[in-house]
Chains A and B, each alone.
Chain A
Amino acid sequence: MKLRTKGIKPYGIIDPDFSTPIWQASLPPEAVVPLLQHQGAEASAMVRIGDEVREGLLIGKAAEKGGAGVHSPIPGVVQGIIEISLPDGQKCQAVSVKLKGQFDYLGKQKEEGDWKSLSPLGIIDLVSEKGLVHMDSFTEPLGGTLRELRKHGAGSIVINGAAGAPFIASEVRLANEYPEQIVKGIQVLARVLSTDDIHFAYPRRHGRLMRPLREAAARNGLNLRFRPLRDSYSSGDPYELIHMVTGRELLPQSGYASSGAGVFAVSTVFALYEAVLLRKALVDRLITIGGGAMGPTRTVRVRIGTSIGTLFSEIGGLARTPAKILVGNPLQGFEVADADTPVTKQIAAIIALTRDELGDAPEQPCINCGICVESCPANLEPVTLHKLLRNRRFEDARDAGLEACRVCGICSHVCPSRIPLTASIRDGIVALGEGAFRNE
């Protein structure tokens, strides 16, 4: 008997749209391109103030092997190199480019180049050079991941069509609207990792939208194993996908490179197609924008470096006063305080919530209802962890499974007493990383 519901069906603050055409945002008058757009070291600026740049020109060189370069998303003149803070709180240098001159990059239809003559390592170098990163929840650069996976020998590839589901539409839309491109991108991946055990995971309720991809895979002779996932959040979690494919359960702190499976979001595969076949640098991406303050939910293709404020004014302003603006999935994302915050390679959604949608209420004592325990995808007891951590019993918290937490945000979301469970456990994991446990 199944007595437990894994994950949650969150009460819908955004209802992703799959019917209206993808909105092409026009070029922003100014782009602020952060030089730190993945975990690791910041890229070093390659341009000076006053330099003219073209679209796709390398403006930041990866500081380490396996990093990702940064490219100018718009043609123009470098106005300055400034320090900004990213939504996740880190500070970094950013190149500010003012729009000027012709744009020749995305307007034209590009010919698909030859990639079959490239060696796998040559492809990886191309991926790093074109600035590719994981475009979902992973924060590593793609080149580094591919290198690691190749070294350890990845037995399987999982293409994640459920990343960010059910909040984010771009993964499903790309698979539905660009099936040929996705199939070619998967073929590149298969070549790099030299495996043909390829799985495509998607939310079960979007099975109908996957038909074009099935047909395209059959046309191109790609053996794609379609794996429907449950419709609840967080079914697109990479750790669950790795478990589904390899049977191995990974702790979030352990590197996933040795797991024998590589997980790639559909948007990452699409960027890979563009980089390898079209030789196009990563300068734009699909973003879901929604939330009660935003009006209708839309999927927008937007240049990296466009400020959130510019994007808002382009879609005609906000419908209602927002109480909170988030980037990323609404349970895990980051709050944005500044409308000048630029869109980066990893932002999959921008969400503006009204006061009503936040569901704020004063914190109350825990009533042991167990909803957090029932919904935790990692089988943890968030309430026990919270109580142990509050009393600084770190060793006990570790025994209770602290390290298995993926900070998915479900426990806080479902808590009827509004206890900040996720934040408290997250702080515990940070303390674990800082070695507080040994000192206690």
Chain B
Amino acid sequence: MSNRIHLPRNLATAGLPHYSGAITSSRAMWTILTLLALPAFWGVLIFGLPALIILSIGLAAGVLSEVLAIALIFPLSEFRTELRKNLSDGSTLLISALSALSLPAYAHPALPALVAGFAVLVVKWSFGGLGKYWAHPVAAGWLFAHLSWPQGFYRQPWGDSLLGSLLSGADAVSGATHLTGAKLMLLQNGSPRVLRPLQLIAAPSGPVDEYLVRLLNERVFIPLGTILPDGYLDYLLGFRAGAIGEISVVLILLVSIFLFARRIISWQIPVAGALGMGILSFLFSGTHWGAQAATGDALFALMSGGFLFALFFLATDPVTTPYTGRGKFAFGLGFGVLAFVFREFSVLPDGSAPALLAMNMLTPLVIILSRRRPFGMPRRASGIGGGRE
């Protein structure tokens, strides 16, 4: 009919897009940052001044690394605009905050600087800044610090806390978590043939847990013909040792619900990750120590260590995860499975960081395998995975 370009609907000159509906990515990052104040505040309440110091050092080190990176990469004339642009998008502050929150409060004060510095300077900027890196900066920084300086994580106490007396056991003072304790005990004693890790550790539960469990058992669970064991409520509410941000399961879930509602994080990764970890833990945790299959404690596995923290705040990072819906699900599942494997079979007490890094490496492959066939095309799109340049 005509030689004109056959565009659908004659759109050759439309000035698209006319309006945008989505929350901007910097707004999304600032929202996560703001909400992270909740678990951070709880950490400071539980661990006291040291937690605050760790947090401040982490944030300061991250921002300083950002300034340094921009000064090294960009010419002096662009320094100010680039700095303003990169600081205002909130990504550096988010990385620094997550770095500090993933550390125990009694860690060496140089540790947050090491983690955040490595995350920002090496992982984020050596690949070209926001949106370009392939590994999660915080997971990489954490693993780097943990492998090169494990003692930094288990320092003697150098401060005291506000609510510290509510903490269970002496572990809190040494900074070692129940997970570490369980692992050490299993290594030393071999086959324990117990069902519950919390029994194995035999750590006394805190006063809050004791009170609430007794109340709930008397009023609710015993009339229903069951019983709530000690210890779980401490984990749920956050009266336990561990990294600053990871201890309160309730707060992590609360923050995530808000992030889900605003569609800032995807549902696929957390759901699939919890499924992978939970099912595998139920089936196999403890089998290699002699316990029966399908007797594992999935609840303890999910709530202990930094698994939920990593699942909701690190594994959902869009930059390093697949962008296809099915790919996100596969990524989450793989993360849960690998976290279980690393937790059970590696020397690390908690396998979240290496599991995340391993899945980050698989991201392009997952994208290629989870692509859809474009409408009207005979086969799936070929070409690069990950849409990277």
Contacts and interface: CB of A to CB of B under 8 A. Distances in A.
B19 A416 contact: no
A326 B25 contact: no
A396 B387 CA distance: 11
Contacts of B17: 331, 409, 412-413, 420, 422-423
Nearest to B328: A370
Nearest to B5: A433
Contacts of A253: 6
Contacts of B372: 379
Q: Which of B1, B8, B23, B89 has the most chain A CB within a 10 Å cutoff?
A: B8
A252 B329 CA distance: 31
B383 A426 contact: no
B325 A88 contact: no
Q: Taking each of A251, A378, A416, which has the highest tally of chain B beta carbons within 10 Å of its own beta carbon?
A: A416
B24 A416 contact: yes
A440 interface: no
Interface string B243-285: 0000000000000000000000010100000000000000000
Interface stretch (A47-55, A120-128, A197-205, A332-340): A332-340
A332 B9 contact: yes
Interface string B345-389: 000000000000000000000000001111111000111101111
Contacts of A434: 5
Interface in B39-80: none
A407 B11 contact: yes
Interface stretch (A26-34, A171-179, A220-228, A356-364): A356-364
B2 A365 contact: no
Interface residues of A, number: 83
Interface string B12-24: 1111111111111
B32 to A, nearest CB: 12
A161 interface: no
A105 interface: no
B198 interface: no
A336 B388 CA distance: 36
Nearest to B6: A253
A381 B14 contact: no
Contacts of B384: 384, 388, 396
A403 B322 CA distance: 24
B375 A379 contact: yes
Nearest to B388: A387
B117 to A, nearest CB: 22
A330 interface: yes
Contact of A415 (B22, B132, B389): B22
A423 to B, nearest CB: 5
Interface string B299-336: 00000000000000000001111111110110000000
B5 A39 contact: no
Contact of B375 (A40, A358, A377): A377
A399 B383 contact: yes
A324 B328 CA distance: 37
Contacts of B320: 368
Interface in A400-419: 400-401, 403-404, 406-407, 409, 412-418
A430 B382 contact: no
Contact of A324 (B14, B18, B389): B18
A381 B377 CA distance: 13
B383 A400 contact: yes
B19 A368 contact: no
A329 B8 CA distance: 14
A418 B24 contact: yes
A104 to B, nearest CB: 35
Given A370-B322, A378-B376, A426 B5 contact: no
B188 interface: no
Nearest to A356: B19
B377 A335 contact: no
B169 to A, nearest CB: 41
B22 A366 contact: no
Given A360-B20, A406-B8, A144 B324 contact: no
A362 to B, nearest CB: 8
Contacts of B387: 366, 368, 381, 383-384, 387
Given A416-B27, A423-B15, 9 more contacts: A8-B21, A13-B19, A137-B8, A331-B16, A358-B20, A367-B130, A369-B318, A406-B8, A412-B20
29 contacts: A3-B328, A13-B19, A41-B2, A137-B8, A239-B375, A249-B377, A252-B7, A331-B17, A334-B13, A335-B15, A353-B19, A358-B20, A368-B386, A373-B323, A373-B324, A379-B375, A381-B323, A381-B387, A387-B388, A387-B389, A399-B381, A404-B375, A407-B11, A412-B17, A414-B22, A429-B7, A430-B5, A433-B5, A433-B7
Interface of A: 3-4, 8, 10-11, 13, 39-41, 64, 66, 88-89, 137-140, 144, 239, 243, 249-253, 324, 326, 330-335, 353, 357-361, 364-371, 373-374, 377-381, 383-384, 387-388, 391, 396, 399-401, 403-404, 406-407, 409, 412-418, 420, 422-423, 426, 429-430, 433-434
Top 5 nearest A-B pairs by Cβ distance?
A: A370-B323, A412-B17, A89-B13, A433-B5, A401-B374
